[in-house]
Amino acid sequence: MNSENPGLTRAQISLLVVYCVDLPACLDFYRGLGLPFERERHGHGPEHHAAVLADGVVFELYPAGTGGSTGRTRIGLVVASTSLRTAWEPGVHVLRDPEGRVVELHVTA
């Protein structure tokens, strides 16, 4: 991060799409972390699942199809402990989703 030049324009992520070979397993994993997914389909596109996070970022899980999975990616999530399906102590936990992507889970009390 560049905190030395405060005049730089700061970008904000609005959409994150993860392509999954095993979509049901990934959907179950991320739902277990408290993400509220809804099933969607736009026009003739593939059925996928989308969750709108607290800051308005849309996190989507799509079937990989012939393009393959998203692959090597690290995702950081901040989640209240009350949202989790499995109990985690407050703090930072490094997990892997069903396809091996690193998920840095920041659990708040």
Q: Is the whole-model pTM more than 0.75?
A: yes
- Domain assignment of residue 78, given as a range: 15-108
Summarize pLDDT for 20-43 with one digit per residue, the tens: 999 999 999 999 999 999 999 999
9 in a structural domain = no
Q: What is the CATH number of the domain that holds 27?
A: 3.10.180.10
Question: How much is the average pLDDT of 1-9?
Answer: 62
Of the candidates 23, 26, 21, which has an alpha carbon nearest to the alpha carbon of residue 98? Answer: 26
Q: Which position has the higher pLDDT, 14 or 6?
A: 14
84 in a structural domain = yes
pLDDT of residue 46: 94
Task: Work out how many domains the chain is built from and give that number.
Answer: 1
Pairing outcome for strands 15-20 and 38-40: unpaired
Of the candidates 99, 29, 107, which has an alpha carbon nearest to the alpha carbon of residue 64? Answer: 99
Please give the Cα distance from 108 to 80 (Å, whole number): 5
